Structure 1
């Protein structure tokens, strides 16, 4: 492999000749060979947004020559576009402030800017990765700013649209079956009737609750740390830098970003991301119930509830011919488990803010972005491959309703709880219908039973 020599404060090191990165990236690449989880490109692209905004603001404030700022902005745009993605090889498991990834972005932007300037790929002239690309910045404020931008973009562009897709699909099915009466179940036991549409409407409302929780967490995440530099004081930055760079980033990203009112908290703690993670966990809980309920209702086809016909997407067994499994439900519930686990990691990592800095930043953003991606993809996939194609087994629902013992609840108002209980007990023990048991006990007449026990009249307050 052809190499070139790059330098940093520790001396010289050989770097692949075709790489845009420099010495600090190369050292990290060699020193942190841990796992296969690379730093999310969403964070890399967001860091490039920070570098672009910082160059623009530093030039405006007279802190950086305009010609260097223009080179940095041009190179940063290439990073943002994704054309240089191959030059960001570092893993999540690195220094807890994200310093190596911050420097990776600084070096790639400088390396590409120097190439644009005709000085060859890499190096430190005319654009220096620290003095120019990283001017008025520290990893301690740039990396959390990029974290927040990446998370906001993922929520807005992936998760919320994905949730809406699933919500709309469930709402359509709820409306379709709003008048289809079936047996309700509590404690996994027969209960009074509901309609299948009412049953599905619960999931629509639960998704709305989860969406509200997610959206309510976002305004605080729009408060960015940029301008705090190393410990929150803003050392080595212009007095106007923090506010101006927040405005520049807002213009670039279309996000309502503002400068965090307390930079010390913005560097040392990430409670705002913990709140979002908790909201993501809430969504995971909703999806777990949705998946579990549909696979219960679809169980069978002959020895289970068999009230819902789920799409048969693929063979379900390597040994049992013709078996079809609720695989979409299983996938959705598995990813819900992962998201719940990710929330635990985020909570633990966010609790590790020591003195002026939390140094668990990479694992926090890695887990949040993974959760967002899983939930977004899961919602869309479940709608497309399960909810859209499912249908009610109306014959089975009618049979369960006819045989259900808890229709006897309709008699409480007429003959009292104790007498109604006698009817239910006799019907169960003697394998008789409620009507037969009620008439034999001489508690109601056939005409009264017809008048009082009507499932369609048991669906709302009277």
Structure 2
């Protein structure tokens, strides 16, 4: 054991851990979610600390020997080491001070070790004086949240692009599969399955565009703002240098916020970004609902789609297979929508020069990004790419549907079409059969008028049968 102290007193700490006294207090104070910091967020924290150390060395304020050890320590964390030393709970009071100090203490003690010193020798390398030099929790945490969000958003957009491509490919595959379209859950007019799947691809592409637009604003950070946005204890050169170093380490174009006070006290851009995740979740959930409904049955439902069978669907009903992958997408969407509400409430709860609720914003944002990315990949690779169309059944439903009578309006008029629809409903005879029996159109004419192309993308093929003016 080693003894560490702060202005509240002394605490015994196991000598094999790299965190220190303030992290230990946070462990005792915040046993809330049982979840430690997100790994991508830990990486982002280490990036911020490495960038700050490099910037402080460039200004001459940080001795090169100490700064180099700090940078090496932070780079080890970026590479994946020492993750088990980040032990504070995700939800905590203090605007993220415990997160910041957890990083400061781990980096300080590892840097001491690199220099051949013992952990806790803070006279040489201090978590506050050196690792936190020219910084505050109030610029470190917002900056790390944004860096982490940018990284995770890239993964989500990659997943969404792949899913959009999968729906587009299925749209091409199903381009000639004619089926009944539905409005109000009732038969409407025919549509191709390909058109429906192309529409899903377009909806997903809009989600990608929204994310691309909103994530751009997160490249503006308040690093150098320190406590309240005034930049106290941060040299102007340091602010320029730390932004340059952040850009190098992230591979992104990071820049200083136009107004540091605004960027320190307001978090509306996180709410805006969270809103795009919610809208994406809504679109994906609607698509999942459609897939579940079109695959319902197989004998007593719509049975238009055959989804990949992933697992037995019941502990009591033999042979039952459920649409478990779309169901998962629905549930993830519900969670993302709930997360967005938590982010919204936290953004609203800021006062004066700081929003202290950023830990819960980060917790919910990172959760939404992670589970949405995983769900999108699952929907793509375990469902969409393996979907097959039940072409025979789709055709049979077209044959018995009254909805196709709408295509006859230009040829035989509304009144005649209505009478035919009424007769078809009362007798269960197919529309084609009734039309031909009444001598209104021939079977050959109906073949053209009711073809997939003419029904779903009206052209000139049926115009020869239109009544003359």
**1:131 corresponding residue in structure 2:** 129
Structure 1 residues 243 and 425 mapped into 2: Cα distance closer, same or farther (>3 Å)?
Answer: farther
Shift of residue 204, structure 1, vs aligned partner? 0.5
With 54-63 and 296-305 compared, the bigger mean Cα shift is at: 54-63
Aligned to 1:322: 319
Separation of aligned partners in 2, 1:404 and 1:147: 54
Alignment of 1:437-456 (within 5 A): 437-438=434-435, 449-450=446-447, 452-456=449-453
1:96–1:358: 8 Å Cα contact kept in structure 2?
A: no
**Structure 2 SS opposite 1:192:** strand
User: What is the alpha-carbon distance in structure 1 between the residues aligned to residue 349 and residue 297 of structure 2?
Assistant: 48
Q: Structure 2: 5+ residue runs without aligned partners?
A: 460-469
CA distance in 2, matches of 1:215, 1:54: 28
Matches within 5 A, 1:33-432: 33-156=31-154, 158-432=155-429
CA contact (8 A) 1:408 1:453 kept: no
Q: Distance in 2 between matches of 1:432 and 1:270?
A: 63
Deviates more, 1:405-414 or 1:320-329: 405-414
- Distance between the aligned counterparts of 1:447 and 1:7, measured in 2? 93
Moved more, 183-192 or 84-93: 183-192
What is the CA–CA distance in structure 1 between the aligned matches of 2:121 and 2:24, rounded to whole Å? 13
Please give the per-residue CA displacement for 1:419-456, whole angstroms capped at 9, x wherever unaligned.
Answer: 32222122112222213444666765666645544444
Give aligned pairs, total: 459
Equivalent of residue 25 in structure 2, options 7, 21, 27: 27
8 Å CA contact 2:134, 2:224 repeated in 1:
yes
Matched residues in 2 for 1:424 and 1:47: separation? 67
Q: How far off is 1:341 after superposition?
A: 0.9
**Preserved CA contact (<8 Å) 1:193 1:458:** yes
**Structure 1 residue 189: deviation in Å?**
1.2
1:1-38 Cα shifts (integer Å, max 9, x gaps): xx211011212111121111111111011111112122
> In 2, are the aligned partners of 1:141 and 1:267 still within 8 Å (CA)?
yes
Change beyond 3 A, Cα 1:86–1:448: closer
TM-score normalised over the length of structure 2: 0.95
Q: Do 1:119 and 1:125's aligned partners in 2 also have CA atoms closer than 8 Å?
A: no
Tell me by how many angstroms 1:125 deviates.
3.1
Tell me the alpha carbon deviations over residues 33-57 of structure 1, each in whole angstroms, 9 at most, x when there is no partner. 1121222222222111111111111
C-alpha displacement at 1:72, in angstroms?
0.8
1:69 Cα deviation (Å)? 0.7
Deviations 1:151-176 (A, max 9, x none): 101111x2111112212211111111
Map Cα deviations across residues 270-314 of structure 1 (whole Å, 9 max, x no partner). Answer: 111111111111211121012111111111110001111111111
* Counterpart contact for 1:339–1:371, Cα < 8 Å: yes
Q: Distance in 2 between matches of 1:451 and 1:218?
A: 50
Q: Deviations over 1:74-131 (max 9, x none)?
A: 1111121221001111001212410011001001111111112222123313111101
Change in Cα spacing, 1:364 to 1:96, as seen in structure 2 (3 Å) is farther
Residue 77 of structure 2: SS of its match in structure 1? helix
- Cα displacement string for residues 324-365 of structure 1 (whole angstroms, at most 9, x for unaligned residues): 110011111110111111111111111111100011111111
CA contact (8 A) 1:226 1:242 kept: yes
Contact 1:182–1:194 (CA under 8 A) maintained in structure 2? yes
